Each structure stands twice: as structure tokens, then as C-alpha cells.
Structure 1
């Protein structure tokens, strides 16, 4: 259950922020290994605290674990996809740190949804009743069924057809899901009480405005940020913004556009907190980009590049620590008014280095809109020196591990290769 240690070449490739197959494969392997470790830790906790867990919750948890094992033996790829979905990571983090009692019971019940989702996507025959907390049955990465009562839901699946019966409304027609592609386990549904998660254009990413674990309970950050409710989400608008941002990236940096398409598993709409869009990621949920509505295609493109690099570095740090934990030293960086610990300096420098790389290309590209070329050139000038100062802090710090120092040196080498400003030809197009 251990990942292959990263090679020097893979670390160097990741340090330069440029998309590369070796780095992508390394991070995917590390992410899955981490999920398996955390899932096993939750099993150990549930069994060690069995006397404090509701007996029915524990029975369902054990039944769900066995179902997941059965599906994994037959269709390991589908189980891996379900476990690696971003909201699974946040669920595990919340469940492992939750208090014993009703809170833990509630989180343990989520395993039933994961196991059932994996079984349905694998085409496994099923006939069982599952719980629907709050009258909602969430199938992570697929969609949500809203019940007319408290549940449970009777699930009957045979081959490619799944029927979901609301046992609190015995005369209602069942919701029907169809397994349209056995290769990747694609499920689509229909029925007045079913809401699926749309796939964003040109990618496999989902616009996730449904999953109860798409943000932590109660929100996150200061000021507190919360997810937009599904009823208030303009799905067609988000799809159009995504398409425009991807089109812009393809014209300016096709490799980055391809990386975004592969790396982003979920785009989570956030409630606006002001006139500017806000992006975020969570170390427990790599592959999810949380963002409030963007001001335009360049804004969303920059947010996607910035946030996916936070995910990449968080995943890498789980595999091979880049800096020591528990240190209290704080450092000043140019992009924030508050002093930051070395972890914040590392994260900020990495994400802003990726943006500097993007802005340099945008400022030099005749394919970029003139307004973005001007903006990108100015942003590159502003951030280039700030990243350089942060990299000096990192390279000289005694808080980094040996791998972290080598990684910081690789970042510094890429920073130096960008030069002091974009090529002159970019400015000739700024009219």
C-alpha cells in the first residue's frame, strides 16, 4: 500500500510547474495510496470504538465495507475512481477527526453511499435498502436523489438498469439510472426527484453543487466561505465560463489546458464574498477547485492554474515531506499582507510560479486577447520579483527537508529561466 518513491527526474519536472506525464502519474499514485491508508484508518477507528457507535450504523458500515471489497475484486478501476474523487478525501478527513457519538455515526454512514456508487458503476446486481440522511441519497461523483419522506431507498440493479424506489412514497414511480458505459462506469439518470452532476465541456470534471462533503461542515476560511446551493447555481453559466477558460488556455498554453482537463475532478461553486472571485483548494481533497463566479475567462483560467498547483504540492508533500512540521518561524511574502509559515511560503511560491509561467506565455501570445496580454504582462512584472524573494527564503531556510530544498532549487531554476519580463513581441500587440 505504499507509493513508489519519486525519482529525481519526476521531482524536477514537478518543481518547474510545467505539465508532465511522469509527474502526473506520480501524484495520482500518491493520492490513491493516501486514500487507502485513510480508509483503513477509519475502519480501525470504527471497530476500536464499536461500543460507542450505534449498532445499526456499525452493521451498515461493515456491510458496506464488504460490498466495497467485493466490487474492488471485480472492478478495481471503478473503486479507485470513487475513492479518489475529491469529496471522498474531505469525508475521510472529517470522519477521522469527528467526535465519537452522533457526529461520528453520521459520517460513518457515508461509506454506504460510496460502496453503493461503486457497485452501481461496476454493473453489480443489487437489491438492498440504504439510508438517506435528511431525505437525500448522495451518490458521489454521480448525483443526488431527493426523497419525499425520510427514506430508506430500495435499490434494485440488474445489468445496466438501476431502479431507486422511495419506500416512503410507495406509489411513486422509481427513479431510473442507466449504466451507459461499462468502461468508465458512467451512470445517467432520469426522474423528477433525480439531479445528476453535469460533466464540464471537454473534460471529465464535474460541476459539483450537490455533494454534502464538497466543503467542510459549516464552511471554511476567514471570512467563512460556503458552497452555493444547487437551487442557486447557474449550471449553464458555469459550463460556459469553463469552456471559455479552457479555450483561452488552449490558445495560449495547450499543455496547461490538457493538464487542467485531467487534474480537475470537481469544480465547486462558492457563494460570492465580494466583487472579486475567490478560489480555494483543500489539502484533503486534491482535484477539487472551489471558486466563486469568475469575472471572465482569464480570471477563471488563472484560478484553475493557481489552485491546481496547490493541489499538486499538497499531494506531493503527503508523499515526500518538503518541510518540517511544527516550526513557528514566519516570513513576509509579497502577495500577502500577513506573515506566513514556511508551508504557506512554499504553497504560495509554487502556485504563483505557475501563474508567472502562464502570464509570460499569455503576454507573448498573439492568440490571447489584447486586454489579457496587457494584464498578463503587468501581472508577470508584479509577481516575478515577489516569487524570486520567496524562493530565496525557501532555498536559505533550515526548515526544508533535503527533498524540499532540491525542489525549491528546481523552482528557482525555472523562475530564472522565465527572465525578467515577457519577450518584447508581446508588447507590440498591446493596442
Structure 2
């Protein structure tokens, strides 16, 4: 068959109407736009496979003991003639795209790998064999057997006794019966592959039926080698029955919640979502999730703590999938000759390039839309956590959009996307929450948005050394400070994880204050159990004692090596108590300057300056200077 398409025919050109493009650019997507994205992504997958087959054809011995890749393609072509939809489904699997893209990366950038190249190439043989068996063909075909395991895409995994780490097995199909034989034995795949059997582990399924749509099934892939998320968190590990049942139930309940709170995202789930890969669990309010441009429609997900958390994670990753598919049609960024600008991404611990910023903006547009809808459900007007999440991400989106709108590397489509998302976000009215707890949650979201930005600056914004030396000299002589203008740089170092620790504690306080009180009793010198990155001062703040927290942060800052989190924590408590506006001003606008001067002074004198007094000194100068700290750093 011609390698222009699985059907032997070239796919038609793909076009989005102006209305479809507008609906996608605003972060949503009408059904017609999503259907066209799905068709276009199929064409993109065929092009990816075409490039892969051409690359393999130029290399000798890449299939090792297996038949040449061209023979596997011929078997796939034979299956396509009898069962085109089955072949299309296999080729469109997110895992197929992950395999093809990762294998191309491996071929173009060789490096040590734990899987022999021929076994990696052999996934094509596995795809062809499954397609041919689904088409009802009688055949036998060699497949890779790694550690006694043979992958059958979309079906499951054969497990055989293994003589060596890598060997071959033969899949044979006769009159509808499928067997897999290796030197270690033979396994028959059940006639109903969804049922387990001797030597056979089926992939689990998630059945979803969203209001107004046709029921459909997702794969729960905890077996395959081709993972969305990097190891070890994303490594395949068979879930126990109870964990699998719980994850399936959460996905079902999360999707149902989306249908109520955010119908736009529910339409996206039905149109795009094909596979969920479990990830290792993390901590409460820190759901792990991931997606890949190679595997549109697939996502990796750790066990969420609630249906709401699951719904937010589904939206987040499917927004990435949607934007990846759109960018396969319309590039959003024109790569320049040198490294592009690094930006503050309010949802990340590290600086991000333009493309990463667009991905984050698009993803959190969906997340904010979901939480906005959640506040409008019965009881939602008085749900402080929903209001907190909506206010937090809406505010962070406004900040992020203001940074990237004039970047010269945006394409015309990229500019339009930024403009349309900005319009959508601006259209979300600042509704008055339904009660005092909700109003307090909105105020808390603003404080913690500033807390994250300050922490990020402390880790990634570097003042010019000469300016810090001059400020330290002025402090020692009693002179007024002369603040530098635009003499800082953003570094790409990732010096710290978990800049959201205080936000996690805040969520705990909003959802279940009693659990936070119990956590306070469990705090010790090693940290806060279950909240990596937090310390006792953070718990004091989160449990409503900002004065005690401020004293604890100050004690930390008087030590020889004070972490950036203590400076940000001091700012947060000054914000809550309203004490010393000048110090608050400096710690909000130029926290990295305050910290750098404090370190310079300790290096010169061997003593630590009063942190509040130093911040107040710098803050008074800021009050007389119309140039904000953000303008200085170019952020």
C-alpha cells in the first residue's frame, strides 16, 4: 500500500473555518472544529509514520531478528483492505504516536537505551499483527518479546517464561484463534481479549457516557512501554484491582462533573480523549499529569483526591492536546536564530520559553473555565475552594497574557490565539462570591499569586553585582539607596521545586481545616508531612497565626543561610498584618534585591541585617520611584 495514508490514499487538505478557528483560539472548540482537528491529526500521524519508514529503510539491520519493517507495513496494508477502521484506530492511538516520535528521536540522537533498537522497531510488527488479527486474516508473524512480555497494542500483554531478556515470539492467527509462542511456551489470547486468561493481561477500559453524546470507551494503559510521562513516575506498573477501580470511578465522576460545570471541555473529552496512563501518586492537591505532542488524545494521570481535581486535570491535559493538534496545522511560534526570551509562568517553578508559555496559557484557560463553572453549580456560590481556584488562575492568566502579547516570535495565528484568549479571560466577570468564606478565598488567591511570583523571582532573577555592592555600601554609611533600573537577568536554573507549598496548605485549610490542625501537630524539624517544601512557619501562617509565622520567618532569616522561601513568607505575613507597608513594597517588587543586599552585608560584616529594616529602607526608595520592580527586571 502507498505510504500516503493507511487507506492507500492521500488524506485531503484540512481547513478550519474562521468560526472554528476562533472557537479553538478562545480555548474552547465547537464540535465541528474538534472533528476537523481529529481528522488533521490522523494525517499528521500518517506523515510521522511515513518519515519513520523512510528513515528505517535507509538503515541496515534495524529489525534484528525480525522481518524488515517493510514486511510489517505490508501486513498492515493487507489488514487495512479488510478492516480499515480497525487499522485507523490503531494508528491513531496516542501510544502509536509516542512510539513513532520517540523512535525517530532515538534514530536521530543515538544514546544509551535499555531496549535494543530492533525491539523498539518491532512495535510496528506488533501493530501490524493486531491489525491483521482484527481483520480476520490467517497468518503468523514474529514479534519482539522483552522480558517475557509481548505487547499487543489496544489489547493487552502476553506474559511468557523468558529464557533471555530479549527474544522473539510468533503470533499466529488461524480461524479467529490467536496464539503467541516463544521458546518459553505458548499463550492463547482469549476470544474476548478484555477478559484475563492464563499468560494474558488485558488493558482495562473506562466507559464514559456524557450527556448529549454517544457512550465511548477509553483505554487505561498500565502495561505498555510507550509512556507519556518520563520515568520513574510514569513507568508502567499494573494497578491493583482496588486502585484501578478507584481511578476509573474518579475519571467517570470527573467527566460527569465537566458535563455539568464546563460543557465545552466535556465536548473536548468526547472528541479527543483516547488513553489514560496511570502515574505514581504524589501529594494531596499536587496531582501529577502529563501529555505529549506525539500522543494527542493521551494523558498520564496520578490518582486525584477528588472528582473536581480529576476534572481539572483532564481539562488541563486535553487543552495541551488540543493546542498540539492545532499547532500541527498552524505553527504558533517562529523560532528565532538565538535563544528566545524566558518568561515567568505562574503555574511553573522554572522560567519558560514562548512556546511553553502558550501551552500553559491555553491549558489554564480551560482550568479556570472549569472552576468558574464549578462556582455556578448548586452550592458552588459558597464553595471557597472553587472560588480560590477560579480567582487564582484567572489572575495568573491575566499576568501571563500581559507578558507574551508583543513577543516578535509569535506567528499570525499565535497573535490571534493570545488575543482571543485574552478576550475570553476578560469576559469572565468578577462575580461577587456568595458568602464571606468565598470572598476571603478570592482575597487569599491574590495573596498566594503574589507569593508564587516573589518566590520565583528569588530563585530566578539575578541583580547586577555592582548594583548590590553599591546598595550595601549605602546601607553601611547611612545613605539613601539608589535603586538600579533594568539591571537584572532571568536565569534558567531550576534551583527549587514546590514553590506552591503555601498554596497547598491554603487549599487544605479551605477544604478541611481540621486536617490542617492535625498536620500542625505532626510538624517536626524534618518538615511538614505530605507537603514537600513547607516548614513549621508556613503551617503557622496557614492555621491563622501570621504574627507567629512572621517571627519564625525572621528567625530563619537571621541565620547564616536563609532560604528564599523565608523572604517570601515574611512578605506574605506583612501583607496579612498590614504592618510596615514600605518593607512589604520592597519584598513584593524587588525581593531578589533585598535578599542579595542582605547576603552582601553579611559577607562584608559577618552579621545579619534586620530583614524588615532592610526591606523598609529599600521600600522607601521605591515609593519615590515610579518605576516598578517588574519593569526593572523586564518581566
Q: What TM-score, normalized to structure 1? A: 0.87
Taking structure 1 as reference, are residues 231 and 289 closer, same or farther at Cα in structure 2, changes over 3 Å only? Answer: closer
Moved more, 386-395 or 280-289: 386-395
Match among 409, 419, 424 for residue 399 of structure 1: 409
Report the CA distance shift for 1:201/1:362 in structure 2 as closer, same or farther (over 3 A).
same
The Cα of 1:110 is off from its aligned counterpart by 1.0
Query: Is residue 2:418 matched to residue 1:408?
Result: yes
CA distance in 2, matches of 1:166, 1:348: 47
- Which of residues 244, 247, 265 in structure 2 aligns to 1:238? 247
Instruction: Report the Cα offset of residue 95 of structure 1.
Output: 1.1
The secondary structure found in structure 2 opposite 1:56 is coil
CA drift of 1:129 comes to: 4.2
Query: 1:141 aligns to what?
Result: 154
Task: For residue 124 of structure 1, report the CA deviation from its aligned partner.
Answer: 2.5
- What is the CA-CA distance between 1:208 and the residue it aligns to? 0.5
* Displacement of 1:333: 3.0
Partner residue of 2:128 out of 112, 115, 122: 115
**Pairwise CA distance, 1:114:** 0.7
Change (3 A) 1:190 1:352: closer
Q: Which residue does the alignment assign to 1:336?
A: 348
Corresponding residue SS for 2:410: coil
Of stretches 390-399 and 80-89 in structure 1, the one that deviates more from structure 2 is 390-399
Which 10-residue stretch deviates more, 126-135 or 303-312?
126-135
Picking from 357, 361, 364, the partner of 2:373 is 361
Aligned residues: 411
| Residues 64 and 112 in structure 1, CA contact (< 8 A), matched pair in contact too | yes
Counterparts of residues 3-402 of structure 1 (less than 5 Å): 3-50=13-60, 52-53=61-62, 56-57=65-66, 59-99=67-107, 103-149=116-162, 152-158=168-174, 161-169=176-184, 174-178=187-191, 187-202=193-208, 203-215=216-228, 219=230, 225-230=233-238, 234-275=243-284, 276-326=286-336, 327-366=339-378, 373-402=383-412
5+ residue gaps, structure 2: 1-9, 209-215, 442-509, 511-635
Whole-Å Cα distance in 2 between the matches of residues 262 and 158 of structure 1?
Answer: 35
CA distance in 1, matches of 2:31, 2:361: 22
Cα-to-partner distance string for 1:76-122 (whole Å, 9 max, x where unaligned): 22211111101111111121121469843222111100111111222
Q: Highest Rg: 1 or 2?
A: 2
Structure 1 unmatched ranges of 5 or more: 180-186
Q: Could you say which structure has the greater relative contact order, defined with CA pairs below 8 angstroms and 6 or more residues apart?
A: 1
Query: Counterparts of 2:343 and 2:178 in 1: how far apart (Å)?
Result: 57
1:113-151 CA-to-partner distances (Å, cap 9, x unmatched) read 011111122233333443322211111121111112356
Whole-angstrom CA distance in 1 between matches of 2:46 and 2:257: 37
For residues 367 and 86 of structure 1, do their structure 2 counterparts lie closer, same or farther at Cα, with a shift above 3 Å needed? farther
TM-score, normalisation: structure 2: 0.60
Distance 1:387 1:129 in 2: 52
User: Could you tell me whether the CA contact under 8 Å between 1:281 and 1:311 is conserved in 2?
Assistant: yes
| 3-state SS of paired residue (1:132) | strand
Distance 2:14 2:407 in 1: 27
Query: Would the alpha carbon gap of residues 145 and 422 (structure 1) be closer, same or farther in structure 2, given more than 3 Å must change?
Result: farther
Query: Post-superposition, which runs of at least 4 consecutive aligned residues in structure 1 deviate over 6 A?
Result: 425-428
SS at match of 1:204: strand
